[in-house]
């Protein structure tokens, strides 16, 4: 792959290390992705474009600063201010992120994979697939996830807790035909037999896709044995899933046990109405207030729990909060805002150079070119796009982005 101008620029910053060296240094940092479904309005919190004749700002807001983050403060969303006061020093706000599409499907795929087609892995799947062999590498609690070469890393919880029901066999209670569960003796014998069969498959040293299948088949059986052995630790009977932190409980428990590297959850805003405010843009403020209150709880939860190495999860976990698109700067005739190709993203926690805003918007709420090394908007810089977003995530995990994207890491985000 030829190095682009922006990637060449990163060589000096040491962000593009030889692949072999990087492979030896693969970080075990964990990642939590919070996806705000529908397209958030960057001007409600992230872009204080007051005074611009081209932007309809939310009434009652004003520019404020907390923890090094400049944002839009307003009485009706106090949790935003509270959050930045408490966590701003650990937060990097990326403004002016380009998602070059305007349909939800396409934007979701682009920001998570950098691709326009379905046949690719999302950033989280790559991070999970390239990490240590874990039992639940990438826990998808909810939301869109894309996988191909690393599809074996993806573990879906199910919208109705199907994973737990399969694990404890209570799934058998929901069948129109009677189901006879296997005895423990038979179960153990079957598991041992199949693991031997898998070893035989791998031992045949297949090539091409056969090799990938054999490895994944063997690993899936190993992981199944491991998870079933640890069933009690992941059982969540009676749990109430009403906040981001509680809904992520399976992933958090699994991270504590060292079984998970990535997790994804979808935020559907207040009353699960989503963020797609073609009408009544004031719902953005309500959604942001709820989101930041829940992010605050999530960060407190991460700080209070430890991984297998004894370190707080907050010190080993990067939280990424994003939406698939932004919203037009002007209100439409229904008091809403249509789709927009410039948006923002938040990076929090481990590995993040916090207390800063990188990139920016111009007075029309369009993305400004930026210097990737400093994060400063400059006409001599380049627009940060979805590939750069992905490259930054991969760099945070010490994975050479060049194997997956032509984007360049935004060095200013990485501590």
Partner 1 sequence: MFGVIGLLIGCAEPVAPSPVTVQRPSSPYVLLDGPRLLRRIRLDLGGRLPDVADLDVVEADPDQVWTLADGYLDDPLLGDRLVELWGERWGQLRDDPLIGTAEIGVAEEDAFPFARSSFEEPLRLMAHVAVNDLPWDEVVTADYTLGTAPLARLWPLDTPADAEGWVISHYTDGRPMSGILSSNGLWWRHITDESNANRGRAAAISRLLLCEDFLSRPISFSALDVAAVDEASAAAAIQDEPACAGCHSTLDPLAANLFGFWWFEEHNISEIGYYHAEREALSDEILGTRPGWFGQPLGGLADLGGALAADPRFSRCTAEHMAAGLWRREVDLDDHDQITALTDVLEDSDRQLKALLGAILRTEDYRAGGLLAGAGVAADRAVTRRMLSPDQLSDALAALTGFHWTHLGVDMMNADTGGGYRVLAGGADGELVRSPQTDPGLTWALTTRRLAEAAAGYAVDNELVAEAEGAGLLRGVTLETPSSDPAFTAQLSALHWRLLARRPTEAWLSSVTALWDVVEDKAGAEQAWVAVLVVLFSDPDFVTY
What residues numbered 115-154 form the site for partner 1, per CB under 8 A?
116-119, 135-136, 142-149, 151-154
- Of 143 and 355, nearer to partner 1 (C-beta) is 143
Contacts of 287 (CB under 8 A, 6+ apart): 36, 40, 269, 270, 275
In whole angstroms, how close is the CB of 355 to partner 1 at the nearest point?
Answer: 27
What number of chain residues touch partner 1 (CB under 8 A)? 93
- Could you tell me what percentage of the chain is helix, strand and coil, using 3-state DSSP and rounding each to the nearest 5? 40, 20, 40
Are the C-beta atoms of 355 and 319 separated by less than 8 Å? no
For 284, phi and psi rounded to 5 degrees? -60, -45
Span 271-300, contacts to partner 1 by CB under 8 A: 278
Candidate residues 216, 286, 303, 382; the one interacting with partner 1 per rule CB under 8 A: 216
Question: From CA 380, how far away is CA 278, in angstroms rounded?
Answer: 35
Q: Note whether 169 binds partner 1 by CB under 8 A.
A: yes
- Of 213 and 241, nearer to partner 1 (C-beta) is 213
Question: Which residue pairs, CB below 8 angstroms and at least 24 apart, start in 59-65?
Answer: none
Within 10 Å of residue 169's Cβ, how many Cβ atoms? 12
SS3 64: strand
Which DSSP symbol is given to 352?
Answer: B
- Of 13 and 366, nearer to partner 1 (C-beta) is 366
Candidate residues 5, 14, 20, 159; the one interacting with partner 1 per rule CB under 8 A: 159
Question: From CA 243, how far away is CA 299, in angstroms rounded?
Answer: 13
SS3 123: helix
Q: Note whether 49 binds partner 1 by CB under 8 A.
A: no
Residue span binding partner 1 (CB under 8 A) among the ranges 234-242, 310-318, 337-345, 347-355: 337-345
Span 72-111, contacts to partner 1 by CB under 8 A: 98, 100-103, 105-106, 109
Residue span binding partner 1 (CB under 8 A) among the ranges 17-25, 296-304, 335-343, 394-402: 335-343
Question: From CA 35, how far away is CA 345, in angstroms rounded?
Answer: 10
Candidate residues 42, 43, 223, 277; the one interacting with partner 1 per rule CB under 8 A: 223
Residue span binding partner 1 (CB under 8 A) among the ranges 166-174, 233-241, 292-300, 348-356: 166-174
State how far Cα 369 lies from the chain centre. 24
In whole angstroms, how close is the CB of 329 to partner 1 at the nearest point?
Answer: 6
In whole angstroms, how close is the CB of 100 to partner 1 at the nearest point?
Answer: 4
> 262 has which bridge partners?
31, 138
Angle at 344 between CA 334 and CA 399, to 5 degrees: 145
In whole angstroms, how close is the CB of 64 to partner 1 at the nearest point?
Answer: 26
Span 176-215, contacts to partner 1 by CB under 8 A: 176-183, 185-186, 189-190, 193-194, 196-198, 201, 206-210, 212-214
Binding track, positions 342-371, relative to partner 1; x by CB under 8 A: x---------------------x-xx----
């Amino acid at each position: 792959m030829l190095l682009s101008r922006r990637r060449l620029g990163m060589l000096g910053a040491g962000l593009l290390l030889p692949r072999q060296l990087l492979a030896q240094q693969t970080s075990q940092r964990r990642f939590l992705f919070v996806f705000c479904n529908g397209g958030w309005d960057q001007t409600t919190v992230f872009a204080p474009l007051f005074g611009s004749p081209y932007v309809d700002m939310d009434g009652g807001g004003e520019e404020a600063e907390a923890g090094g983050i400049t944002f839009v403060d307003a009485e009706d969303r106090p949790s935003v201010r509270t959050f930045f006061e408490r966590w701003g020093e650990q937060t990097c706000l990326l403004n002016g992120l380009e998602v070059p599409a305007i349909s939800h499907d396409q934007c979701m795929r682009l920001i998570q994979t950098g691709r326009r087609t379905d046949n690719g892995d999302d950033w989280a799947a790559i991070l999970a697939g390239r990490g240590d062999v874990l039992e639940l590498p990438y826990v998808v609690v909810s939301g869109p996830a894309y996988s191909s070469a690393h599809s074996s890393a993806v573990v879906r919880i199910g919208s109705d807790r199907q994973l737990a029901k399969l694990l404890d066999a209570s799934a058998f209670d929901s069948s129109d035909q009677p189901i006879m569960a296997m005895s423990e003796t038979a179960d153990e014998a079957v598991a041992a037999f199949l693991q031997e069969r898998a070893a035989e498959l791998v031992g045949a040293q297949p090539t091409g896709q056969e090799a990938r299948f054999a490895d994944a088949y063997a690993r899936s059986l190993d992981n199944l044995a491991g998870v079933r052995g640890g069933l009690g630790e992941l059982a969540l009977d009676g749990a109430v899933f009403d906040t981001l932190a509680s809904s992520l409980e399976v992933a958090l428990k699994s991270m504590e046990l060292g079984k998970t590297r990535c997790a994804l959850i979808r935020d559907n805003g207040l009353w699960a109405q989503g963020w797609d405010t073609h009408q009544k843009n004031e719902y953005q403020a309500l959604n942001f207030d709820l989101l930041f209150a829940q992010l605050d709880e999530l960060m407190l939860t991460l700080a209070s729990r430890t991984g297998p190495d004894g370190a707080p999860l907050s010190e080993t976990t990067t939280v990424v909060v994003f939406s698939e698109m932004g919203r037009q700067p002007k209100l439409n005739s229904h008091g809403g805002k249509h789709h927009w190709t410039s948006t923002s993203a938040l990076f929090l926690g481990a590995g993040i150079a916090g207390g800063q805003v990188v990139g920016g918007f111009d007075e029309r709420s369009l993305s400004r070119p930026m210097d990737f090394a400093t994060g400063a908007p400059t006409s001599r810089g380049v627009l940060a796009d979805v590939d750069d977003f992905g490259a930054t995530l991969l760099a945070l995990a010490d994975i050479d982005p060049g194997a997956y994207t032509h984007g360049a890491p935004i060095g200013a985000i990485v501590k």
